[in-house]
Chain A
Amino acid sequence: MAIKDYLRERFFPHMWCPGCGHGIVLNNMLRSIEQLGLSKNEIVMVSGIGCSSRISGYVDFHTLHTIHGRALAFATGVKLGLPELNVIVPMGDGDALAIGGNHFIHAARRNIDITAIVMNNRIYGMTGGQFSPLSGIGTMATTAPFRNIDHDFDVAELSKAAGATFVARTTTFHAKQITDIIKQAILHEGFSVVEILTQCPTYFGRKNREGSASNMMELYKKNTTPIGSQAKQENPELIERGILHEVEAPEYCNEYDKIIKAAMKGK
């Protein structure tokens, strides 16, 4: 199938700004799904609120566009309701880690088989450029007009500590890697987190003088390095890309099925 066959063309044009990285994520996520040969009927995409969350409207799956921060809680209901479905949850950094932070760590802790994609543009795009828990110290935002003094989360470390069994990171510059990582995240049985650095030239770029979208993507190339590379040892500031953590652990829906078996036998 062609990528186009996964899109709801009726609902285009999309609402993203020129240069926004979210479309690159959409494109490569669909490539992963195509390469895995998944049927459209077995995929549910659940999202919250934000520019990134609008992604669910454009794809021809079962799509649930919910409320800000709660997508993983809705997704938990969907997945437990029908565990045979593949549940994918694209989220903004604010959606996933500010308002949705609690749901994020608890979904990870349960190790429920959901693929969470954090589209990290380090800013609240939808509401016009306020800082997020991933903006980091020293960044500028409409609500940090002098400079941001809020520390940021390391999504990967947070996910790992909370119990996610697959954690990976890449950027919109490394489009092929997005496809590759999302494929593995979907195949992984358990809670998977994929952080994708995605540019917001309109707000983050402008406020922080990072220039055009292509400039911002150049920065992703410059500031990141494959995991375990020599470059990282030489320059610890570099952000690592690739699969950062992958372990096997009992998955929530499988465990629940065992509970049902035991409970029904006991009766």
Chain B
Amino acid sequence: MDPNIKFIQGNEVCVEAALYAGLNFFAGYPITPSTEIAEHLAQKLPEQGGKFIQMEDEIASMAAIIGASLTGKKVMTATSGPGFSLMQEALGYAIMTEIPCVIVNVMRGGPSTGLPTSVGQGDVMQARWGTHGDHGIIALTASNHQDVFSITIDAFNLAETYRTPVILLFDEVVGHMREKLVVPEPGEIPIVERLRTSVKGGVDYHPYLPREDGRLPMSDFGGVHRYNVTGLYHDMWGFPSNNPSVVQGLHRHLNDKITNNVNQISRYKEYYLEDAECILISYGSAARSALHVVQERRPRGEKLGLLELQTLWPFPYQMIKEKCENAKSIAVVELNAGQVLRAVKRAVNDPEKVFLANRIDGVFITPVDIRNMLRFVQGRGA
């Protein structure tokens, strides 16, 4: 068999992709349903000269990857709900200090310990607003292994491009299911390497002065430039400042660098949208069932389409508005009480035509579930 064709779990796909993207440092703490990511990296990273460390908790894991990123490594951690909650303060630190890093959250049922071994998609809003203060954030997701592979690489590329943490919001079903993956040849998918400063040693380097394009060339710790990194509002040297214009400038920068690039960051897939009268909007594992419904109903002449979101944050409001302009009804298919539903309602012209097709009982949503809910949406009753 072709060694590039694999039949593996989604969590392993994430590992393969991270290594493809150049991951060389991972810190983590075991938690279902993400643990396989740590286990596989404990094996694979040292085999390639990289490093894996099991920390004492998720706070420490997040802290360690930020520290390692400053030494020039490509870094990642992986967790699930409770661990993601613990990471929030350090996540905010990485946002404030603009340190590239990737955080995988394989979502399970919450809140609290919730349903450790069952699927859920309840952390969408936590990914957006889990850490305190205004900020921009990137969160991506995928529904099948080939996409998990490419979106994981995207996560690393976007983290380097925008110097920001990127969250991969996978879920238990995607993380644990096995399906085919074709591993691309090296070089087939472009990898973004860290932008490093060209300023020579001895010349005043401004670690926090963005270039005209908003990008911030970095200098690794241990290199010729010594500078300060702080979670306090800081000036172009990285020194603490509460000068109102410095504060406002950095506040704007941290938000704008993400929200102004929503089109560059937004990834999605569409199926039969051109003439769709009813559009399903879904993401992650739930999108698999949604796609099944669409593909089953189309041949019967039902004008059903699917918009599968892969970028959840920054939310592609404009794109959704345009795609949904002519739809009579929209059903958001997700495994929570309506977190993306709310964002979609904000995006479209007529929020009244947006419905929720969900499950919140730890059981994966099936095509039958979606079909039953669609009957209500389409006014066909129970």
Chain A interface residues (CB < 8 Å from chain B) = 8, 10-11, 40-42, 44, 46, 56-57, 60-67, 70, 73-82, 84-85, 102-103, 106, 256, 259-260, 262-264, 266-267
The reply to whether A81 and B68 contact each other, CB–CB distance below 8 Å, is yes
Take A46-B67, A64-B229, A67-B90 as given contacts and tell me if A73 and B25 are in contact as well, using a CB distance cutoff of 8 Å: no
Chain A contacts of B212 at CB under 8 A? none
Q: Do B57 and A74 touch (CB < 8 A)? A: no
* Cross-chain contact A85 with B60 (CB below 8 angstroms): no
- For residue B49, CB closer than 8 A to chain A, the reply is yes
User: Across the interface, do B70 and A78 meet the contact criterion of CB distance under 8 Å?
Assistant: yes
B73 within 8 A of A: yes
The answer to whether B267 has its CB under 8 Å from any CB of chain A is no
Neighbouring A residues of B231 by C-beta, 8 Å:
65-67
Please give the residue numbers on chain B whose beta carbons come within 8 Å of chain A beta carbons, in ascending order.
25, 27, 43, 46-49, 51, 53, 55-57, 59-61, 63-73, 75, 89-90, 93, 220-224, 226-232, 237, 239-240
- The 22 listed contacts between A and B (C-beta, < 8 Å) are A62-B222, A62-B226, A62-B227, A64-B229, A73-B55, A73-B56, A73-B59, A73-B63, A73-B67, A74-B63, A74-B67, A76-B53, A76-B64, A76-B67, A77-B25, A77-B71, A78-B71, A80-B64, A81-B25, A81-B221, A262-B46, A267-B47
Contacts A46-B67, A57-B239, A102-B57; is A260 near B49 (CB within 8 Å)? Answer: yes
What is the CA–CA distance of A172 and B223 in the complex, to the nearest angstrom? 33
Q: Are A84 and B222 in contact (CB under 8 A)?
A: yes
In the assembled complex, the CB of A100 is this many whole angstroms from the nearest CB of chain B, namely 10
Q: Do A67 and B67 form a contact, CB below 8 Å, given A11-B239, A60-B226, A62-B226?
A: no
Among B47, B60, B65, B228, which residue has its beta carbon within 8 angstroms of that of A57? B228
In whole Å, how far is A126's beta carbon from the nearest beta carbon of chain B? 12
User: For residue A79, which residues in chain B have a CB less than 8 angstroms away from its CB?
Assistant: 67
Question: A256, B51: Cβ atoms under 8 Å?
Answer: yes
Residues in chain A near residue B73, CB distance under 8 A: 81
- Other A-B pairs, 18, CB within 8 Å; known A67-B90, A260-B51: A8-B228, A11-B239, A40-B226, A63-B228, A65-B240, A66-B63, A73-B67, A74-B64, A76-B55, A76-B64, A77-B65, A77-B69, A77-B70, A78-B67, A80-B51, A81-B72, A103-B63, A264-B46
Q: 7 smallest A-B Cβ distances: which pairs?
A: A77-B67, A81-B71, A77-B64, A73-B63, A73-B60, A263-B46, A81-B68
Q: Say whether B63 contacts A77, CB under 8 Å.
A: yes
Report the Cα distance A256→B345, complex, angstroms.
Answer: 51
- Judge whether A77 and B68 touch: CB under 8 Å: yes
A82 to B56, CA, bound (A): 20
**CB-nearest residue of chain B to A58:** B228
Shortest beta-carbon distance, B336 to chain A, in Å?
Answer: 29
State the Cβ distance, B112 to closest chain A Cβ, in Å. 20
Kindly state the separation between the CA atoms of A173 and B190 in the bound complex, as whole angstroms. 59
CA gap between A57 and B226 in the complex, in Å: 11
CB of A94, distance to nearest CB on chain B (Å): 16
User: In the complex, which of the residues B57, B67, B93, B230 contacts A75, with contact meaning CB atoms closer than 8 Å?
Assistant: B67
Cα A64 to Cα B234 in complex, Å, equals 13
Q: Which residues of A contact B57 (CB under 8 A)?
A: 102
Given contacts A77-B64, A103-B60, A264-B46, contact A64 B55 (CB under 8 A): no
A259 proximity list for chain B (CB < 8 A): 46
Q: Which of A41, A42, A73, A267 has the most CB of B within 10 A?
A: A73
A23 to chain B, nearest CB (A): 18
Q: Which residues of A contact B90 (CB under 8 A)?
A: 67, 70
Cβ 8 A contact of A62, one of B63, B89, B221 = B221
Which residues of chain B have C-beta atoms less than 8 A from A267's C-beta? 47
Residue of chain A at shortest CB distance from B72: A81
- Measured between beta carbons, the chain B residues less than 8 angstroms from A266 are 47
A51 to B229, CA, bound (A): 17
B239/A44 in contact, CB under 8 A:
no
B13 to chain A, nearest CB (A): 21
Complex Cα distance, B226 from A40, in Å, reads 8
- Considering the chains assembled together, what is the distance between the CA atoms of A77 and B373 in angstroms? 49
Residues of chain B with a CB closer than 8 A to A84's CB: 222
Chain A contacts for B72, CB-based, 8 A = 81-82
